Amino acid sequence: MPALEPASARQGSSVVDFLLKEPDTFSVRAITRNPESPAAQALAARGVEVVRADLSSLEETAAAFAGAWGVFGLTQFYVHGYEGEQLHGRNIVDAAVRAGVKHIVWSTVEGREGECAAISWTSKALIEDRIIASGIPYTFVYIPMYYENFWTSFFAPSYDEEKGFNWSVAFLPDVPIFAFSVADLGGLVVPAFREPEKYNGVKIKTVVEYLTLREIAQQFSEVTGEKASLALELTPEQFAATRYADHPAAELMYLSWEYVCRAGPESGVRDQRQTLSIYPQAKTYREWVKDSPLVKECVQRLKAEAEAKKKQSVA
């Protein structure tokens, strides 16, 4: 009975979706800080057991894990910061030990020495250590860039009628980025619960395809017929300078992107064959753009905002 946190977030939602496809094998308990939220209520309507717990409390987390066979876990650096992430990771692992959990599937990234030095990545490595030390059988799923990130507040495009859709991402335009749709995550997680012996100690280095920023704009344009381009194209020198920008997250973002530069398709860091052998149905970016409600909503919203602004200026 895998438990999930945060149950209403994109990763947790995907895992729930895939678990619910196998009702004869799994019952699902979703853990959230707010069981009354619309997202939590929607899960309950689908037959998911929704339980309240604040991961800052070991007692609440342990109570929520009681009776669970397995746990899918993740922590959120960008929401809770380093100290909060470490606290949540410690409580999840300690609660799993108390509950006698038989398998943990953990969402993580490469934060070891010699890999990504951003604190948001190295923090994940410390939690991996705690999981290994706990003695609970585990599977680590290494998360790449979401396709979705380029259509949400992370890196969403702007729009104007003349230029179309334009991305301003402070990265190099032609460097391949390991990526996937987070909606496909459950296709990688659920097999580890279904066959825990096979996946015990396995590191799933997720990547469906490598995409440059140019390709993200170009493929969107080819699929939809919309005009699209990059509004910002950094040179290597300009990219290096972003590390020292006047922003509290400047170095963290630089170090994250710098690792992406070193972890391209020829590096051997991530292997599409592993991902696709586990879940062959994972979507390419083109397939995802064609079918994604998120893309359709974003396109419609940005066009409507531009039209409203145009009418307002005329008035």
SS3 215: helix
Q: Tell me the one-letter amino acid at 227.
A: K
- Sign of torsion, CA 147 8 255 144? negative
Distance (Å, rounded) from C-alpha 191 to C-alpha 205? Answer: 15
**Contact at 8 Å (CB) between 106 and 74?**
yes
* Radius of gyration of the chain from its Cα atoms, rounded to whole angstroms: 20
Bridge partners, 71 (sequence order)? 3, 104
pLDDT in tens, the chain (315 residues): 333 334 347 899 999 999 999 999 999 999 998 999 998 999 999 999 999 999 999 999 999 999 999 999 999 998 899 999 999 999 999 999 999 999 999 999 999 988 999 999 999 999 999 999 999 999 999 999 999 999 998 899 999 999 999 999 999 999 999 999 999 999 999 999 999 999 999 999 999 999 999 999 999 999 999 999 999 999 999 999 999 999 999 999 999 999 999 999 999 999 899 999 999 999 999 999 999 999 999 999 999 999 888 877 665
pLDDT of residue 201: 98
pLDDT of residue 31: 93
Task: Indicate whether this model's pTM tops 0.75.
Answer: yes
Q: 190: which 2 tokens? A: 């659920």
What separation, in Å, do the N-terminal and C-terminal C-alpha atoms of the chain show? 59
pLDDT of residue 310: 80
Q: Where are the alpha helices (DSSP H) in the chain?
A: 10-19, 38-45, 58-65, 77-99, 119-134, 186-194, 196-199, 213-224, 236-241, 250-262, 272-278, 285-291, 293-314
**Contact at 8 Å (CB) between 2 and 28?**
yes
The candidate with the shortest Cα–Cα distance to 81, out of 244, 245, 248, is 248
pLDDT of residue 315: 57
pLDDT of residue 314: 61
- Sign of torsion, CA 28 192 204 137? positive
Distance (Å, rounded) from C-alpha 189 to C-alpha 304? Answer: 38
Q: 147: which 2 tokens? A: 């396709």
Local structure of residue 149 (DSSP, 8 states)? G
pLDDT of residue 312: 77
Distance (Å, rounded) from C-alpha 292 to C-alpha 181? Answer: 10
